[in-house]
A and B are shown apart, each in its own frame.
Chain A
Amino acid sequence: MAVSIPLPVLLGLIVGGLGGTLAALHAIGWSALARLEGPDAARLRFALDYPDDTPQDVWVASDGSTALLSLEGGCVGLVCVLGDRFTVRRLGARSVGSIRLDSETIVLAFDDVGFPRAVVPLAESPARVAWAARLASCVSPARAS
Chain B
Amino acid sequence: MGCAPRQLRLSCTRLLNPGSDVPAPDLPPIVQLAVPFFMGSIGLELALGYIRGGARYETRDTLTSLLMGVGNLTIGILVGGAIYGFLSYVHQFAPVQLGEQSWGWAPWLFALCFVIDDFRYYWYHRIAHEVRWFWSSHINHHSSQHYNLSTALRQTWTSELMLSFLFRVPLVLMGFDPVMVAFVGGINLIYQFWIHTELIDRMPAWFEAVFNTPSHHRVHHAVNTRYLDANYAGTLIIWDKMFGSFVPERADDAPRYGLTTQLGTFNLLRVAFHELIGMIRDATRRGLSTRQRLGYLFGPPGWSHDGSRKTATQLKRDHVERFPDQAGLPGLPGPAA
Interface residues of A (CB under 8 A from B): 1-5, 10, 13-14, 17-18, 20-22, 24-26, 28, 30-31, 48-49, 51-52, 80, 82-89, 112-118
Is B208 positioned at the interface, with any CB of A under 8 Å from its CB?
no
Chain B residue nearest to A17 (CB atoms) is B39
A14 to B256, CA, bound (A): 29
A80 to B264, CA, bound (A): 8
Is B116 positioned at the interface, with any CB of A under 8 Å from its CB?
no
Query: A116 and B70: CB pair below 8 A?
Result: no
Query: A5 and B322: CB pair below 8 A?
Result: no
Tell which of A1, A4, A24, A114 touches B46, judged by Cβ atoms closer than 8 Å: A24
Query: A20 and B62: CB pair below 8 A?
Result: no
Query: A21 and B66: CB pair below 8 A?
Result: yes
Q: How far in angstroms is the closest Cβ of chain A from B155?
A: 14
In terms of DSSP, what is the predominant structure of the interface of chain B? helix
Query: B264 and A115: CB pair below 8 A?
Result: yes
Query: A115 and B322: CB pair below 8 A?
Result: no
Query: B278 and A113: CB pair below 8 A?
Result: yes
Residue among B6, B56, B59, B318 with most chain A CB within 10 A: B59
Q: How many A-B residue pairs have CB under 8 A?
A: 122
In terms of DSSP, what is the predominant structure of the interface of chain A? mixed
Q: How far in angstroms is the closest Cβ of chain A from B269?
A: 9
Query: A114 and B274: CB pair below 8 A?
Result: yes
Proximity string of chain B (1-43) to chain A, C-beta cutoff 8 Å, 1 when within and 0 when not: 0000010000000000000000000111100110110110011
Q: How far in angstroms is the closest Cβ of chain B from A48?
A: 7
Q: How far in angstroms is the closest Cβ of chain A from B56?
A: 8
Query: A52 and B322: CB pair below 8 A?
Result: yes
A49 to B223, CA, bound (A): 9
- B residues within 8 A CB of A116? 264-265, 270
Query: A25 and B274: CB pair below 8 A?
Result: no
A83 to B153, CA, bound (A): 19
Is B145 positioned at the interface, with any CB of A under 8 Å from its CB?
yes
CB<8 Å pairs between A and B, sample of 30: A1-B26, A2-B6, A2-B26, A2-B29, A5-B32, A18-B67, A20-B43, A21-B46, A21-B62, A21-B66, A22-B63, A24-B46, A31-B58, A49-B260, A51-B322, A52-B318, A82-B262, A82-B266, A84-B61, A85-B58, A87-B263, A88-B262, A114-B263, A114-B264, A114-B270, A114-B274, A114-B275, A115-B263, A115-B264, A116-B264
A116 to B67, CA, bound (A): 21
Is B119 positioned at the interface, with any CB of A under 8 Å from its CB?
no
